[in-house]
């Protein structure tokens, strides 16, 4: 598989694997979200971006529609944010968090 093929199928597969594990299907609850962070993110740089110890806070940040769980759309946004963080780090662009703006446009 080409690299982007892998990225895309991995995002979907990881989400479904953890989301269907417990509770509601196709939704990540706090426990499931914690497992994703613990098991599927290993690089220290990215780990540093997520406060896996404070899952309440991570959930609050990711749960855009405030239903207490993370759906696929919300999960994608988080992955995308992490990619942006890494991009900024790699290209040396300050990497300041742009809170709000981007997200509002998309709604
Ligand atoms: Ca679930
Ligand atoms: Ca949600």
pLDDT in tens, 43-72: 988 988 887 678 999 999 999 999 999 999
| Ligand 1 ion: residues within 5 Å (CB) | 19, 23-24, 27
How many of the other CB atoms lie within 10 Å of CB of 51?
13
pLDDT, mean of residues 67-90 = 95
Q: Under a CB-based contact definition with an 8 Å cutoff, are residues 33 and 41 in contact? A: no
| Contacting residues for 85 by C-beta, under 8 A, at least 6 apart | 46, 49, 95
CA 12/CA 10 separation, integer angstroms: 5
Q: Is the entire prediction scored with pTM above 0.95?
A: no
CATH 1.10.238.10 fits 3-98, yes or no: yes
92 CA to middle of ligand 2, Å? 32
| Ligand showing the shortest atom-to-Cα distance for residue 28 | 1
Domain boundaries in the chain?
3-98
Cα three-residue angle 81-89-36, rounded to 5 degrees: 40
């Amino acid at each position: 598989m080409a690299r982007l093929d892998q990225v895309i199928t991995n995002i979907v597969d990881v989400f479904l694997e953890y989301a269907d594990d417990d509770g509601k299907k196709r939704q990540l609850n706090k426990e499931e979200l914690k497992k994703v962070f613990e098991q599927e993110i290993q690089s220290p740089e990215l780990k540093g971006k997520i406060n896996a110890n404070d899952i309440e806070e991570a959930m609050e940040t990711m749960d855009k529609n405030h239903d207490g769980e993370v759906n696929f759309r919300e999960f994608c946004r988080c992955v995308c944010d992490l990619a942006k963080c890494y991009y900024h780090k790699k290209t040396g662009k300050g990497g300041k968090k742009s809170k709000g703006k981007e997200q509002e446009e998309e709604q």
